Structure formats: C-alpha cells, structure tokens
Structure 1
C-alpha cells in the first residue's frame, strides 16, 4: 500500500498501510504506556501503540473513519455519545500508574483522578456514520482531573463560542454533555470556571511556545488564534449565569 502524508495543526504524520507514523517527543513513552493500559482494559476508543520505526517516529494503528474540522457542530446524539466515549476513557485510566520519571507534554494537574486526553476536539475524534468512535493524537495526555478534560471537550463539542448558537441553546447542550458523561455535582459546580481556566492555559501555552520559536504555534499566534480564545473566554464570562444554571 502506498504511503500517505497527512498534515495536522502541529505535526505531519504518515500513513503506511494500516499504521500511522508520527514524530515522537520526550512524552511519547508515557503516552504509549497510557495506550497500552487502555488496550489491556479493553477500551476500543483509542489507537494501539506499536513502538518506534527506524527513524525514531512512533507507530500507531490507523483508525478508519472521518475526522472533521474544529468548527463541526454535532447532533445531540453525537454530543451525548462523545461524552460517553470520554467517560469510558477516564474510567479506564482511573487506576493507571505512570512510569517512573514520566515526561508529559502538558504538566500533570492535581487532583490526579484520571489520565486526561488533553485535546478532546472534533479534529482529534474519529467518526463513523456521524457518531464518535475513537480519540486520536494522545500527545497531550497527562494525569489530571475529570473536569479539566470535560471542560475543554465541552468547549469544543458544545461550541461555547461567541459566533455559535444563542447562549440558551449552548447551555442546553452543555447540560446534555454533562448529563451524558455523568459529571458529579462538585465538578458541575466548577465546570464554567474550569472552561475559562482551560482556555487561559491554552493561550498561555500557545504564546510561550511561539515565543520559544515553535513554528506551528508561531503561526497560530500570528493568525490570531490566541485572540480568538480570549474572545470566547469573555463570551463564557458574559453568559456565566445562564450556562451555570443549566448545570444545576
């Protein structure tokens, strides 16, 4: 089978047959440990890891299906299914023990309830027949809390954005996502705060990487991605009351 190069937001990956070869980082061994743990748990919503190739790139299963863009608006059914998929990932990693001296792309965040995917979004989700079936690109996986991951997933899949649906509709879908995940009351009480904190973290990370000369993040900042997230933080803050009321 012929090779197929695919360019993502940060990395270039190559598909060779039924495997995907991706640039590795210092965090890759820890990510492979997570993927091995998920495989052992029988979790099917993630690719399997197959070590490294002769060039030092990581090798993973190719997961067939459709991977949409970041602005995709999913149906209520798909939104609920995404929450269930994320809950399955978190439940499967609740007893994961990181390797000694593990390195992570994002710093671990207490409390360490689960392993967060770190970038749950349509562009990292494989769909089949309009339903999410797997998450891909686990580079940003790291120990953290359920709500830290849920907050960003909700931001991306509910589309908590200024240019999105009316705030009342966003609130309804946010509650649907939280209900389908089975988010507990303490986490529901801090979900809006966590959405804001997660976006602030993203802006800070993006700007620090751009300042360090990372080409992809430098391009993102030049294109105004950081300003986009700041506008959405302001939007969430303006509609905090209606969003929060839906979670009560």
Structure 2
C-alpha cells in the first residue's frame, strides 16, 4: 500500500488518501451507501465518487475526487452566484438519479429515512462536502449521511449552507435581502416546485433542530468529535440560525414564490 496522507475535514472520521483513492471508516450504513454510489455510477451521474469495496484494514475505498474543497472564510469563487446555481443543478441531478434506487426497508442508513421517501438525500450537502474545479462545483463527497427522504429535506439544508441562510452576524453571513435573492436563485436552478418553496424555510429550521439533537445524542454516547463541536458552540450557532429563519421566514418565502421578473 502507498503512503497515506491524512485528509482534514469535519473532524468526525479519520480519512486518508492513498494514491488515487480515499480510505474511510465503515459503519452499519456502508453497504447501503455503496449500493447508492454504484447506482449513481450506473445512471451516469458523475458528481459523486466511485466506490471500490473495503481494503485489508477494513476501510471503505473510494475514488479521490481531484479539486478544491473550500474552507472558512469562504473564498469569493465559492460564494459566487454561478457556483450557487451549479450546486442547485447538481443536487437536482443527484436526486433524479436516485428515483429508481431500490429503497429496501432492510437497508441500514446513518440517519433514519424521512417520509415521503421521494429520493435518496445526500444528508449533508455543504461547501465542506463539495469539490470545486476552477471555481465550479463538480461533485459531492462524504455520502455517509445519505438516507431516503423528500427532496426538500436535502434542498433546504443545502440552501442553508450555500446561500447561506444563517444569522447575518455569523462569519460568511449575508444580509437578509441577499439571502432572499440567492435562495430564489438556488431554488430556480434546482427547479423546485411551489409546494416545496413554501416549505423551504420551515424545513431548514427542522433540519437544524434535527442536527442539534443528533450532536447531543452522539456526544452523550461518548463520541468525542461531537462533544468537541458542542464545546466550541456549534449548537448555539445553529439555534441562533433556527431563530433567524423563524424571524425571516415570510421574507424568504415571498422571494421564493414571487413571479419571475421578465425583461
């Protein structure tokens, strides 16, 4: 085996690069994730790594996707309107490629399936799980949190991360008017239906509440990474964003449902 290069990221898993592959810890959800990645490959979706089973050390083996994963503070190219629109289209392509994925009730997923199980959600579409090349998003990585669910469950969280839809006082924050403009751009690029547009802000709040609960459950179970996230105040930040979304839900929803401007 070649030299191992430790890859940094969310701090939950120990991930290394070996040549043109990435090696990651497995879990009960790994067979379902591998089945999903194989399905995406068979459907011609190129915005996800290919999987190559498990190595002799018991780690899953995935393609290393070349490019740049932006960190914080986000570079301007990761915040550009063009990048946001491409992410919306890429997420739509991902979801559409899973429409005929056999969602067996016997499959184990990291997160429980959400109803209605319209598609298979990535579960953590964010800048830190998106590979860019020349300022253009080309692939999502880290599918561990994938699970069946409604489109809006994934779309709302992706919008929260990429628009972004958090309190403007946070680093990388944006004024509410800019959030409204960009969330409309994202929804248009995805091709989101009116019903889901009306539910986006509230779904983002529900998704963040789900995240806070999960962090505390995992920390209580003894997982040091999640305890560290809480210690640095991540849950406090998410609760502030939940409140922000409640305060500005009407503004965001009006922007999402407004008739398009024609020239």
Distance in 1 separating the partners of 2:207 and 2:40:
25
Q: What secondary structure sits across from 2:79 in the alignment?
A: coil
Aligned to 1:142: 147
1:216 and 1:179 map into 2 onto residues whose CA distance is 36
In 2, Cα distance between the equivalents of 1:99 and 1:110?
14
Structure 1, unmatched stretches of 5+, are none
Contact 1:26–1:103 at 8 Å: present in 2 too?
yes
Q: Distance in 2 between matches of 1:104 and 1:229?
A: 24
TM-score, normalised via structure 1 length: 0.97
Pair 1:49 & 2:58 matched = no
Question: Alignment RMSD, CA only?
Answer: 1.1
Secondary structure of 2:47's partner?
A: coil
Structure 2 counterpart SS, 1:227: helix
Matched, 1:39 2:48: no
Q: Measure, in 2, the Cα distance between the counterparts of 1:124 and 1:225.
A: 18
C-alpha distance in 1 between matches for 2:105 and 2:30: 14
Task: Tell me the CA shift for residue 136 of structure 1.
Answer: 0.3
1:105 aligned partner: 110
Distance 1:100 1:168, change over 3 A: closer
Pairing of 1:1-248 with structure 2 (within 5 A): 2-9=3-10, 10-69=12-71, 71-72=73-74, 74-99=79-104, 101-162=106-167, 163=169, 164-248=173-257
Helix, strand or coil at the partner of 2:251: helix
- Distance in 2 of aligned mates of 1:104 and 1:8: 21
What is the rounded CA distance, in whole Å, between the counterparts of 2:104 and 2:201 in structure 1? 32
Q: Supply the distance in 2 between the matched residues of 1:59 and 1:174 (Cα, whole angstroms).
A: 35
Distance 1:30 1:238, change over 3 A: same
1:2 offset after TM fit, Å? 3.1
Instruction: Kindly report structure 1 stretches of 4+ aligned residues shifted beyond 3 Å.
Output: none
Distance 2:73 2:8 in 1: 18
Contact 1:30 1:99 (8 Å CA) reproduced: no
Aligned counterparts of 2:255 and 2:86: Cα–Cα separation in 1? 19
Q: CA deviation at 1:74?
A: 1.4
Decide whether the 8 Å contact of 1:37 with 1:96 is kept in 2: yes
TM-aligned CA deviation for residue 100 of structure 1 = 5.8
Q: Are 1:33 and 1:99, in contact at CA under 8 Å, matched by a contact in 2?
A: no
TM-score (norm 2): 0.92
How many residues of Structure 1 are paired with residues of Structure 2 in the alignment?
Answer: 248
Unaligned runs of 5+ in 2: 258-263
